[in-house]
C-alpha cells in the first residue's frame, strides 16, 4: 500500500482511519463541501461568488504576477468545486465564469494579436479512475483502431509559434485564449527555437508548446536576484513566464529558457495523426519531445504514468503530469472542443512532488511577536530540484494532528510558496518505542511560561520586553529592507544586544561611532556605513516607519492604509476603535491590536524618542521630495545603490520620472549603481544614452532628497568620527 501511494505521489498521513485519509486525499475544503448538509440556494450562490472571486484573483497571481499564493492542487480543487456547483445550480451559471474561460496572462507593455485558432487549456484530474473513465468513454464512442498519444505535461508557460516559408514570424503567449501577447523578439532569444526550418515544411503553419526554465538556470537566476536584492521566483514555471515577458529581449538570452513543442493545430494540414504531425515537426528541426508513447489501452496508459511518476524526478526541468490525447485526427475532430478545452485530451496531474526523510531534531523558534513555531531539522533531501533541510511544523495542533514522534520519517511537500511543509508521516518506518516530542511549556529562550489565548493556534512567550529573541527580532524587523532599510544583519544585532548597546529601535539612533567600534570585526568604514544608513533612514516614509514599529498584524499593506487614512502618528494614536474600523480592510483584530499598542506607555515613550531622532511620523513630510525635477524623463536603473533599488525607483516616480525596464533610444539616462548590467551599458553606448551615477542623480533632486547626497559625501570624511 505504501509503495502504491508513493508511486502516485500521495503520502500516507500518519493519522489512522479511513475517514482522515479520505479527507487528506480530497483536500479539506472539497471534502467538507461534499459532505456538508446540502446547501440552500442562497448559500450555493454565495459559495459560487466566493469561488469565482478567489479563482479570478489566484489566476491573476499565477498568470500575471507569476507569484502564486496557493498550490496548483488547491486551485484545481476550487475549480472542480465551482464546476460541480454550476452543474447543480445551472441558474447561477454564467458565461464569464472562470470555469468557461482560460486564465489570462495578458500584460500591459505588449502588443496583443489574435490567435488564428483559439488557444485552449486542458481538462485535468488527479484521479487515475477519471483517466480510466476518459478512456472508457472514448472506447465506447469511437470505432476500434484508435490510439492514445501519452506525453509529459511540461510545467512552463504556453507559447504559439508561427512559421511562414520556413521562417519564424510570430510568437504569442496564450493570453486569454483569443488574443495573446506578442513576444516574438523574446522567443527569438530562446536558443532551441529555430529561426529557420529545414526539410519539407508547409508554407505556413502554427505550432504550440511550452517555454520552460530548467532547474539549473532557475537556481542561477534566483542566486543573482538575491544578490541584487530582488525577490526570488517561487518556482521554475513562474521564472519562465516572467522571463518570457521581459521588456528587454537581450536579457531573455541570459535566462537559459528552453522550449518544447507538443501541438500543431493541424486543421489546415493533412496529417492523419497527432504523432505523425509531431514527427514531421521534428524533421523540420523543431524541438519535440521524444518521451511520447503511443498507447493502445488503459493498462499501457497506466504503465506510462507509473513510469514517469518516478522518472520525471531525474529530468532537468519541471513536469506536473501526463497528457493523454486521442491520436487520430479524424477522432479528434469527432470529439471536438468545449469552450475551454478539447474533448479529445485529458491531463492527469501528479500531486505535488514529495520527499520522505527523517526528522533529526525539532527547534522551537521564538519570533519577534513571541509566537513559538516548531521547525523540523531534516536529513537533507532533494525536492523538485532543490535540497530541503528544514520544514515547518506550523504549531502544536498541527504536530498533534500529524502525530509526530521523535525521529519519524516525514513527507515534505512544496506548496505555492517557497518554504516546504510537512504533510504526513511514514508510520511503517517509526522506531519502536519512539516518543512524542513535548511542546515546551516555557520559552526556549528566556524560560517564561508560554501562554495561549483561546482563539490562537500558537503558543506565545508573554515576556515581550525581556525575551532576548523577541527584542532581537524586533530590532531586525525595524532594520529590515522593507522597513527602515538599515544596513545590518543578524550578527550585528546579536552583538549590539550582547554588549547591551541596543534593546529598542530608538537605541540605534543614540549609538556613537566609538561604541560601534567595540563590535567585533568593525572598523571605521563599517561604522561609517552603518551611521550613513541610519542617517538615510530618517527620510524613510511614514508608512514604512509605521510598518517598522512592528505593531501586531500591521503588515506593509495595512501600514500604508493607516498612514493614508490618518496622515500622522498623533491622529493614529488618538483614534478610538470605531475610527480604526472605518479604515478600508481593517477588521476588529487589527483595530484592537493598533488601539492597544498606543495604550502602552512604553510604546509611546519609544515613539517620542524616534520622533526626536528625526524619523518621519507624518505622510506630508516624507523624505521622498515630491517635485517635477524628473518630469518627462524615462530612466533605467541598474546595479546596486546605497539604498535599495525600490527606494531609488520610488524617488524617480516621486520626482515625476518614469521607471523603465530596458534601454531604448527614448531613455533619458541610465542610472548606474555598482555592478550595472553589462548588456545595458553596451546598449547605452551603442544608442548614445547618457549614464549617470547615484551622486549625480541625487544632485538633480530638490533639497529633501539632496540631504541624503550631502550625508553621503560627509560620511566619507574621517573627521566626522569625532562628532559622535
Ligand atoms: S496539449 C488544445 N500537451 O498544459 C490543447 N499541453 O494545463 C493543447 N501543457 O494549456 C495543449 N504539456 O500549456 C498539451 N504535452 C502537452 C502539454 C501541454 C503542458 C500545458 C499547456 C496547456 C496546459 C493545461
Interior CA angle at 714 toward 713 and 715, to 5°? 95
Distance from the CA of 157 to the center of ligand 1, in angstroms? Answer: 9
Q: Between 252 and 710, whose confidence is greater?
A: 252
Distance from the CA of 215 to the center of ligand 1, in angstroms? Answer: 20
Mean pLDDT score, 420-427: 88
Q: Between 556 and 24, whose confidence is greater?
A: 556
What are the b/e assignments for 252-262, b being 16+ CB within 10 Å? bebbbbbbbbb
Mean pLDDT score, 313-331: 93
For residue 626, what pLDDT band results from cuts at 50, 70 and 90?
low
What lies within 8 Å, CB to CB, of 463 at 6+ separation is: 370, 443, 446, 448, 470
Is 153 a residue of the active site? yes
Among the listed residues 224, 235, 210, 328, the one whose alpha carbon sits nearest the alpha carbon of residue 274:
328
pLDDT at 723 over 60: no
Residue 447, CB-side half-sphere exposure with 13 Å CA sphere: 0
Among the listed residues 363, 364, 354, 372, the one whose alpha carbon sits nearest the alpha carbon of residue 409:
354
Q: What does pLDDT average to over the chain?
A: 84
Q: Between 193 and 715, whose confidence is greater?
A: 193
Q: What is the reported pLDDT for 437?
A: 95
Q: Which residues pair with 319 in a beta bridge?
A: 154
pLDDT tens, residue by residue, 549-597: 999 888 877 888 888 888 889 999 999 998 898 887 778 888 999 999 9
For a mutational test of ligand 1's pocket, the pick from 175, 178, 210, i.e. the residue with the most ligand atoms closer than 8 A to its C-beta, is 210
Q: Which residues pair with 355 in a beta bridge?
A: 412
Q: What is the reported pLDDT for 26?
A: 32
Mean pLDDT score, 396-402: 90
pLDDT tens, residue by residue, 343-389: 999 999 988 778 899 999 999 999 998 999 999 999 999 887 678 88
Q: Would the CB of 122 count as within 6 Å of ligand 1? A: yes
Q: Would the CB of 399 count as within 6 Å of ligand 1? A: no
Q: What is the reported pLDDT for 15?
A: 25
Counting other chains too, the contacts that 586-589 makes at CB distance below 8 Å and 24 or more residues apart are: 586/558, 586/561, 586/562, 589/553
Q: Would the CB of 479 count as within 6 Å of ligand 1? A: no
pLDDT at 262 over 70: yes
pLDDT at 237 over 60: yes
For residue 646, what pLDDT band results from cuts at 50, 70 and 90?
low
Q: Between 345 and 458, whose confidence is greater?
A: 345
Q: Would the CB of 262 count as within 6 Å of ligand 1? A: yes
Q: What is the reported pLDDT for 340?
A: 87
Assess contact for 656 and 627: CB atoms under 8 A. Answer: yes
The pTM (predicted TM-score) of the whole model is: 0.56
For residue 624, what pLDDT band results from cuts at 50, 70 and 90?
very low
Distance from the CA of 120 to the center of ligand 1, in angstroms? Answer: 8
Q: What is the reported pLDDT for 418?
A: 58
Q: From CA 332, how far away is CA 341, in angstroms rounded?
A: 12
pLDDT at 678 over 90: no
For residue 433, what pLDDT band results from cuts at 50, 70 and 90?
very high
Active site residue: 12, 20, 108, 153, which one? 153
Q: What is the reported pLDDT for 600?
A: 94
Category of 538 on φ-ψ map: left (φ > 0), alpha (ψ -120 to 50) or beta? alpha
For a mutational test of ligand 1's pocket, the pick from 149, 173, 323, 325, i.e. the residue with the most ligand atoms closer than 8 A to its C-beta, is 323
Among the listed residues 552, 371, 602, 342, the one whose alpha carbon sits nearest the alpha carbon of residue 469:
371
Distance from the CA of 252 to the center of ligand 1, in angstroms? Answer: 23
pLDDT tens, residue by residue, 493-504: 999 999 999 999
Distance from the CA of 346 to the center of ligand 1, in angstroms? Answer: 9
Distance from the CA of 611 to the center of ligand 1, in angstroms? Answer: 57
Q: Would the CB of 323 count as within 6 Å of ligand 1? A: yes
Mean pLDDT score, 393-398: 88
pLDDT at 627 over 80: no
pLDDT at 185 over 50: yes
Domains recognised in the chain with CATH numbers: 4-100 (1.10.287.610), 112-349 (3.30.470.30), 354-429 (2.40.50.140), 468-610 (1.10.150.20), 634-714 (3.40.50.10190)
Q: Would the CB of 155 count as within 6 Å of ligand 1? A: no
532 burial class (0-12, 13-18, 19+ CB within 10 angstroms)?
buried
pLDDT tens, residue by residue, 77-126: 899 999 999 999 988 888 778 888 887 778 767 889 999 999 999 999 99
What are the b/e assignments for 457-485, b being 16+ CB within 10 Å? ebbbbebbeebbbbbbbbbbbbbeeebbb
Q: From CA 563, how far away is CA 621, in angstroms rounded?
A: 12
Ligand 1, atom nearest to 337 Cα: 2
Q: From CA 212, how far away is CA 320, in angstroms rounded?
A: 12
Q: Would the CB of 121 count as within 6 Å of ligand 1? A: yes
Q: Would the CB of 158 count as within 6 Å of ligand 1? A: yes
Q: What is the reported pLDDT for 268?
A: 66
Assess contact for 368 and 444: CB atoms under 8 A. Answer: no
Mean pLDDT score, 8-19: 27
Q: What is the reported pLDDT for 226?
A: 66
Assess contact for 345 and 325: CB atoms under 8 A. Answer: yes
Q: Which residues pair with 361 in a beta bridge?
A: 377
pLDDT at 161 over 90: yes
pLDDT at 20 over 50: no
Ligand 1, atom nearest to 210 Cα: 13
Q: Would the CB of 411 count as within 6 Å of ligand 1? A: no
Question: Which of 20-29, 57-66, 149-158, 506-515 has the lowest average pLDDT?
Answer: 20-29
Mean pLDDT score, 692-704: 83
CA-nearest residue, atom 21 of ligand 1:
158
Ligand 1, atom nearest to 155 Cα: 19
Q: Would the CB of 151 count as within 6 Å of ligand 1? A: yes
Distance from the CA of 123 to the center of ligand 1, in angstroms? Answer: 10
pLDDT at 622 over 90: no
Mean pLDDT score, 242-265: 91
Q: What is the reported pLDDT for 720?
A: 25
Q: What are phi and psi of 636, to 5 degrees?
A: -110, 135
pLDDT at 27 over 60: no
Q: Between 485 and 481, whose confidence is greater?
A: 485
- Rounded percentage of the chain residues whose pLDDT exceeds 70: 87
Distance from the CA of 345 to the center of ligand 1, in angstroms? Answer: 9
CA 75 distance to own-chain centroid: 15
Ligand 1, atom nearest to 152 Cα: 15
Q: Would the CB of 342 count as within 6 Å of ligand 1? A: yes
pLDDT tens, residue by residue, 33-69: 444 457 888 888 888 888 888 888 788 777 777 777 6
Amino acid at each position: 500500500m505504501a509503495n502504491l501511494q508513493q508511486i502516485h505521489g500521495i503520502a500516507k498521513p500518519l493519522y489512522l482511519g479511513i475517514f482522515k485519509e479520505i479527507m487528506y486525499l480530497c483536500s479539506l475544503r472539497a471534502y467538507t463541501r461534499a459532505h456538508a448538509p446540502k446547501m440552500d440556494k442562497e448559500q450555493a450562490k454565495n459559495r459560487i461568488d466566493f469561488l469565482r472571486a478567489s479563482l479570478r484573483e489566484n489566476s491573476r497571481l499565477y498568470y500575471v504576477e507569476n507569484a502564486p499564493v496557493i498550490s496548483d492542487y488547491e486551485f484545481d480543487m476550487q475549480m472542480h468545486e465551482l464546476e460541480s456547483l454550476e452543474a447543480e445550480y445551472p441558474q447561477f451559471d454564467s458565461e464569464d465564469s472562470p470555469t468557461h474561460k482560460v486564465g489570462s496572462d495578458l500584460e500591459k507593455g505588449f502588443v496583443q494579436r489574435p490567435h488564428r485558432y483559439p488557444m485552449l487549456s486542458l481538462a485535468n484530474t488527479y484521479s487515475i479512475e477519471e483517466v480510466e473513465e476518459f478512456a472508457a468513454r472514448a472506447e465506447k464512442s469511437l470505432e476500434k483502431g484508435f490510439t492514445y498519444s501519452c506525453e509529459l505535461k511540461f510545467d512552463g508557460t504556453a507559447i504559439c509559434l508561427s512559421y511562414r516559408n520556413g521562417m519564424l514570424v510570430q510568437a504569442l503567449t496564450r493570453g486569454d485564449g483569443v488574443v495573446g501577447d506578442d513576444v516574438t523578439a523574446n522567443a527569438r532569444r530562446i536558443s532551441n527555437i529555430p529561426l529557420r526550418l529545414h526539410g519539407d515544411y508547409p508554407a505556413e503553419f502554427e505550432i504550440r508548446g511550452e517555454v520552460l526554465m530548467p532547474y539549473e538556470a532557475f537556481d542561477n537566476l534566483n542566486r543573482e536576484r538575491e544578490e541584487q536584492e530582488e525577490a526570488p521566483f517561487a518556482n521554475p514555471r513562474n521564472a519562465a513566464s516572467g522571463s518570457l515577458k521581459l521588456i528587454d529581449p537581450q536579457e531573455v538570452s541570459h535566462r537559459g529558457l528552453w522550449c518544447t513543442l507538443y501541438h500543431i493545430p493541424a486543421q489546415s494540414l493533412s496529417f492523419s495523426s497527432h504523432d505523425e504531425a509531431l514527427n514531421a515537426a521534428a524533421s523540420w528541426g523543431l524541438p519535440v519531445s521524444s518521451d511520447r508513447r503511443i498507447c493502445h489501452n488503459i493498462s499501457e496508459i497506466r504503465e506510462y504514468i507509473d513510469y514517469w511518476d518516478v522518472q520525471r524526478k531525474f529530468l532537468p526541468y519541471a513536469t506536473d503530469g501526463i497528457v493523454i490525447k486521442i491520436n487520430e485526427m479524424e477522432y479528434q475532430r469527432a470529439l471536438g472542443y468545449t469552450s475551454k478545452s478539447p474533448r479529445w485530451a485529458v491531463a492527469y496531474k501528479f500531486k505535488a512532488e514529495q520527499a520522505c526523510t527523517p526528522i533529526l531534531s525539532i527547534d522551537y523558534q521564538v519570533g519577534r511577536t513571541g509566537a513559538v513555531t516548531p521547525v523540523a531539522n531534516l536529513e537533507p533531501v532533494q525536492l523538485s530540484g532543490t535540497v530541503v533541510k528544514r520544514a515547518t511544523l506550523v504549531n502544536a495542533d498541527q504536530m498533534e494532528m500529524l502525530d509526530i514522534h521523535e525521529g519519524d520519517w516525514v513527507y515534505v511537500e512544496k506548496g505555492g510558496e517557497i518554504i516546504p511543509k510537512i504533510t504526513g508521516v511514514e508510520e511503517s518506518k517509526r522506531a519502536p518505542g519512539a516518543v512524542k516530542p513535548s511542546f515546551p511549556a516555557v520559552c526556549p529562550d528566556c524560560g517564561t511560561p508560554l501562554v495561549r489565548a483561546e482563539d490562537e493556534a500558537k503558543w506565545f512567550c508573554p515576556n515581550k520586553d525581556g525575551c532576548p529573541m523577541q527584542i532581537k527580532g524586533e530590532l531586525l524587523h525595524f532594520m529590515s529592507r522593507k522597513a527602515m532599510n538599515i544596513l545590518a544583519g543578524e550578527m550585528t544585532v546579536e552583538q549590539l544586544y550582547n554588549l547591551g548597546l541596543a534593546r529598542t529601535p530608538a537605541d540605534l539612533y543614540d549609538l556613537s561611532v566609538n561604541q560601534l567600534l567595540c563590535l567585533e570585526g568593525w572598523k571605521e568604514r563599517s561604522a561609517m556605513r552603518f551611521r550613513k544608513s541610519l542617517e538615510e533612514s530618517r527620510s524613510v516614509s511614514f508608512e514604512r516607519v509605521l510598518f517598522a514599529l512592528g505593531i501586531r498584524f500591521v503588515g506593509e499593506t495595512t501600514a500604508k492604509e493607516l498612514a493614508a487614512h490618518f496622515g500622522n502618528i498623533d491622529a493614529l494614536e488618538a483614534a478610538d476603535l470605531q475610527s480604526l474600523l472605518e479604515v478600508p480592510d481593517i477588521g476588529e483584530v487589527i483595530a484592537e491590536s493598533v488601539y492597544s499598542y498606543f495604550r502602552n506607555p512604553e510604546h509611546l515613550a519609544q515613539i517620542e524618542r524616534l520622533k526626536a531622532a528625526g524619523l518621519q511620523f507624518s505622510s506630508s513630510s516624507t523624505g521622498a521630495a515630491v517635485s517635477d525635477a524628473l518630469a518627462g524623463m524615462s530612466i533605467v536603473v541598474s546595479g546596486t545603490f546605497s539604498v535599495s533599488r525600490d527606494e531609488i525607483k520610488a524617488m524617480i516616480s516621486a520626482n515625476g520620472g518614469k521607471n523603465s525596464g530596458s534601454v531604448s533610444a527614448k531613455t533619458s539616462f541610465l542610472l548606474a549603481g555598482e555592478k550595472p548590467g553589462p548588456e545595458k551599458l553596451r546598449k547605452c553606448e551603442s544608442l548614445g544614452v547618457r549614464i549617470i551615477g547615484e551622486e549625480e542623480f541625487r544632485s538633480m533632486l530638490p533639497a529633501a532628497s539632496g540631504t541624503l547626497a550631502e550625508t553621503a559625501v560627509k560620511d566619507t570624511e574621517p573627521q566626522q568620527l569625532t562628532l559622535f
